[in-house]
A and B are shown apart, each in its own frame.
Chain A
Amino acid sequence: MSLEIIGTYATALFLLIGSGFALVGVLGLLKFNDSMTRLHAPTKVGTVGIGALLLASMTYSYVSGAPSMHELLIMAFLFVTAPISANFIAKVNLHQRACDTPPAPPRDDTWSTLKSPEAEGDIPSGNEGS
């Protein structure tokens, strides 16, 4: 069995793993019954699913004779930004009280996510700019 055939089998395997993770993650997004639980499933699509698809692309570029490592850039970018966007969406869920509110903080009167900025005057209400 030559190296090229092994590479093609590996590409097909990575493609199946990546698309399977994408399908299962989105199935979780559709079937879970709580906002925070729904947040858990699709974050795996962004890391494992797209990571396996990019591995398949890299392996296939080696098999087809034009090797490239550019896909590592996209992988690094996705691995850095996926937790940040998940954290922002969790803060949106907390802010809209779509889940249980965490217990009160020890020193301040409430969590900063739950404060509304208009009430404190943080944001100028008119159009005079900042």
Chain B
Amino acid sequence: MMSAADLMSAALGVAFLSLAVAQLMCMIRLVLGPNTGDRILALDTMVINALGLVIVLGIHQGVRIYFEVSLLIAMLGFVSTVALARFILRGDIIE
């Protein structure tokens, strides 16, 4: 059986790798996407994956400052998704 520290570093490596692969697959959908809804969805998922990467980086380095970074990324991602969708729906963001 693996020791706890070995398992922790292996899990960190797997998390970094799978989040990076997920980010690349989102980019493929962003380029392919047949219509605008798919592109907005791919951008939203890319923001969420970047949030996960920042959280895993914070665990890896053991630094608390990445908490503020991830909170800011979450807020900006939500606001930008809503702004893009409102621009498609209404032709304007703030009427």
Contacts and interface: CB of A to CB of B under 8 A. Distances in A.
Question: Are A and B co-members of a single complex?
Answer: yes
Interface of A: 4-5, 8-9, 11-13, 15-16, 18-20, 22-23, 25-27, 29-30, 35, 38-39, 42, 45-46, 49-50, 53-54, 56-57, 60-61, 64, 66, 68, 70-71, 73-74, 77-78, 81, 84-85, 88-93, 95-96, 98, 113, 116-118, 122-123, 130
B64 A73 contact: no
B58 to A, nearest CB: 6
Kindly state the interface size class of chain B when it binds its partner: 35 or more
A19 B4 contact: no
By secondary structure, the A interface counts as: helix
Given A22-B18, A122-B95, A15 B59 contact: yes
B1 to A, nearest CB: 10
B71 A22 contact: no
Nearest to B10: A12
B33 to A, nearest CB: 9
A50 B5 contact: no
A1 to B, nearest CB: 9
Secondary structure dominating the interface of B? helix
B89 A45 contact: no
Contact of A85 (B62, B75, B78): B78
B12 to A, nearest CB: 7
A110 B89 CA distance: 15
A117 B95 CA distance: 11
Interface string B1-27: 000110110111011001101100110
Contacts of A68: 64, 67
A13 B56 CA distance: 13
Given A30-B28, A92-B40, A12 B22 contact: no
Interface in B39-95: 40-42, 44-45, 48-49, 51-52, 55-56, 58-59, 62, 64, 67, 70-71, 74-75, 78, 81-82, 85-86, 88-92, 95
A128 to B, nearest CB: 13
